[in-house]
């Protein structure tokens, strides 16, 4: 497991302990179609078409919801707030697409976090 993978696991555990629900959001592209295994063990894909995974280019490594109580008039009502957590190892930097996604989440009222450790979750909420 990579350093960033361990950090991501620790962040997911901390988020769960805080009552949040997070999901891994893999982004990228692969190919799908009609598969045929060849005698040499390779795979031939007939009628290939691209398969795009994830929310969008630059979307956070972890996405999820956290319960949130709001306004005195709504006391006792629990809402879900969208969260986007971009996980980086020490010295890792966000891409322009990742920075734009985090900014978008913030402008729409979500919680957007750049996290290098599970402790970053606490700092982001305080």
pLDDT tens for residues 20-44? Answer: 999 999 999 999 999 999 999 999 9
Q: What is the pLDDT of residue 54?
A: 92
Paired tokens of 118: 């599970």
Q: From CA 19, how far away is CA 76, in angstroms rounded?
A: 16
Confidence of residue 79 (pLDDT cuts 50, 70, 90): confident
**Residue 39 forms part of a structural domain:** no
Q: How many domains does the chain have?
A: 1
Paired tokens of 115: 């996290």
**Residue 40 forms part of a structural domain:** no
Domain housing 85: 3-27+55-125
Q: 10 Å Cβ neighbour count for 124? A: 14
What is the share, in percent, of the chain residues with pLDDT greater than 90?
72
Average pLDDT over all residues of the chain: 92
Residue 68's contacts (CB-CB under 8 Å, 6 or more residues apart) are 78, 79, 80, 81
**Residue 43 forms part of a structural domain:** no
CATH of residue 94's domain is 3.40.1350.10
Confidence of residue 70 (pLDDT cuts 50, 70, 90): confident
């Amino acid at each position: 497991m990579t350093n960033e993978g361990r950090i991501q696991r620790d962040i997911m555990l901390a988020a769960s302990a805080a009552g949040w629900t997070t999901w891994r959001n893999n982004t990228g592209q692969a190919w799908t179609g009609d598969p045929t295994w060849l005698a040499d063990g390779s795979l031939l894909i007939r009628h290939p078409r691209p398969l795009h995974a994830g929310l969008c280019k630059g979307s956070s490594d972890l996405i999820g919801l956290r319960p949130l109580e709001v306004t005195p008039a709504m006391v006792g009502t629990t809402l879900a707030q969208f969260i986007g957590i971009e996980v980086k190892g020490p010295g890792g930097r966000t891409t322009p697409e990742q920075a734009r996604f985090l900014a978008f989440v913030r402008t729409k009222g979500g919680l957007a976090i750049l996290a290098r450790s599970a402790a970053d979750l606490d700092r982001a909420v305080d």
